[in-house]
Amino acid sequence: MRIVGGKEVVEVTEQLEQSYDVVVAGGGAAGLNGALMLVRARRTVAVIDAGQPRNAPADGVHGLLARDGMPPTELLERGRTEVRGYGGHVVTGEIVAATRDENGFTVTLADGRTVHARRLLAATGLTDELPEIPGLSERWGRDVVHCPYCHGWEVRDRAIAVLSRGPISMHQVQLFRQLSDDIVFFTHDQPEPTPEDAERLAARGIRVVSGTVTGIEVADDRITGLRLADGTVVAREVVALGTRMVARSGFLSSLGLEAADHPFGEYIPCDATGRTEVPGVWVAGNLTDLAAQVGAAAAAGATAGAHINADLVQEEFDTAVAARRAGFSAPAEARLAESVNGARGHGL
């Protein structure tokens, strides 16, 4: 930041310094909020962002107090501006590897740049893996949705198809029934509902359609139906389904940190503060909490940032104490040596 005409001006740079207190991998809500906590604690921070936010296809962020409906790109741009306003760097790039050294970590970017960090905060999010049904992925985040809390209000009272992906889909179909009276449950490639589940669906007027879904019908840039293997088309306006959520954790494997299996996909385990089993590495957001919405991801980033700063503070005090003790012991050793040499000079 610099002063121009008596006003503070935030300088935007894509240049990386050689070293920082903390490098944050990922510039979504979790990464930026973690960075914000750290720069406000006067830490030097670089956020390295590949520019691939999970919620990019969505029109707006929902369920976030005071920011409901804000376009995801606007929310992130405001976050970048805030981090930069405190002197943090937000740089475009992708981290492909990280190695440990005696003073922290050396991080390597895809373009060959390297940067050193005392601590790492990984907030690279996750990838949603959708079924391979023609036309499905093109509608993702628009009229193909997954979360009733993220998109439910926007699809209320419409003709909704819930596509079964396994046992969790029974929970999902019941949630979407809260939003519309017109729900059809497609078994697709999954088993038929159990008798108990079938009774629950029937009690709420939810029709079950068997058979594999082979395509999405679209007209005038909107979904009009689901096509089955036998050629039948069931009229629908919205498709709801669960995705397989896979942590974007590639570069962490070079530190020995591997993703663990989860009923919904894969995630990076950590404690309540975001600390992982690898010393000096924290994680936050969807990388570790697959179900976290934007608000929860941002809160986790803030928590991780605070604990990273506390960890650095502890290290700095430990180092200062060690240096102080060394400073006291050195003169004492010198006086002892002088005394011994003096005694020898007197023939003692």
Whether 133 and 216 have beta carbons less than 8 Å apart is answered as yes
Edge-first strand listing for the sheet containing 126-129? 126-129, 244-247, 265-267, 260-262
Per-residue pLDDT, 333: 52
Radius of gyration of the chain (CA): 27
User: Could you read off the pLDDT of 258-307 as tens digits, one per residue?
Assistant: 999 999 999 999 999 999 999 999 999 999 999 999 999 999 999 999 99
Q: How far apart are CA 215 and CA 100, in angstroms?
A: 48
Alpha carbon distances (Å) from 305 to 39, 43, 71, 295: 9, 10, 25, 15
d(Cα 87, Cα 102) in Å, to the nearest integer? 26
How far apart CA 301 and CA 105 sit, in angstroms, is 20
pLDDT at 348 over 50: no
Mean pLDDT of 239-268: 95
pLDDT at 15: 84
Sheet holding 207-209, edge to edge: 144-145, 238-241, 160-163, 183-186, 207-209
Q: What is the pLDDT of residues 40-97, one digit of tens each?
A: 999 999 999 999 888 888 889 999 999 999 999 999 999 999 999 999 999 999 999 9
Q: Is the dihedral of CA 268, 271, 274, 279 positive or negative?
A: negative
d(CA 53, CA 28): 6
Q: For residue 172, how far is the Cα from the chain centroid?
A: 23
Angle 294-345/29-40 helices, nearest 10 degrees? 40
What pLDDT shows up at residue 57? 87
